[in-house]
Amino acid sequence: MTTPFRTWNGVEPHALFPGVGLRAIAGEQVFLGHVTYAPGTVVARHAHPESEQAMWIIAGSLTMTVGDETRALGPGDVVVVNRGVEHELVSEEGVTFVEAMAPVPRDHIPDPERDLVLGEQGDRLHVER
């Protein structure tokens, strides 16, 4: 696709991990995702060594630990996880959030043909994780 316009209408979420559904779009320098966690989803402690992550909770709730600080988050809450900082998440009731990451982590792009809008730099600024 050469158009900068896309839709998530009719696109089934990609199963990024068990209980985690992702719809994604990315350019050369930024990733945007619509993420859903099924009730009871646990994402173990991990870090994104190359990418910073910002999350905006739009429905449901989760408990998130970033570094040594833990918070319960719900609709309207936002969090930034700087690159390389360990974090973990638990959602007892399920949650939906929008996340942005930069640079773009390649493993968060389900279908590069559909989910990437690239210009002159292509994907050379994207990172492996």
Q: How confident is the model at residue 60 (pLDDT cuts 50, 70, 90)?
A: very high
Q: Residue 101: pLDDT above 80? A: yes
Residue-wise pLDDT for 115-128, tens only, equals: 999 999 999 999 98
Cis before 39 (ω within 30): no
Q: Return the pLDDT at 129.
A: 72
Q: Which residues contact 105 (CB under 8 A, 6 or more apart)?
A: 31, 48, 50, 51, 126, 127, 128, 129
What is the rounded distance in angstroms from the CA atom of residue 87 to the CA atom of residue 69? 9
Give the chain's domains with CATH numbers. 19-107 (2.60.120.10)
Q: Return the pLDDT at 90.
A: 97
Long-range contacts: 18-25, Cβ < 8 Å, 24+? 22/108, 22/110, 24/108, 24/109, 24/110, 24/115, 25/115, 25/116, 25/117
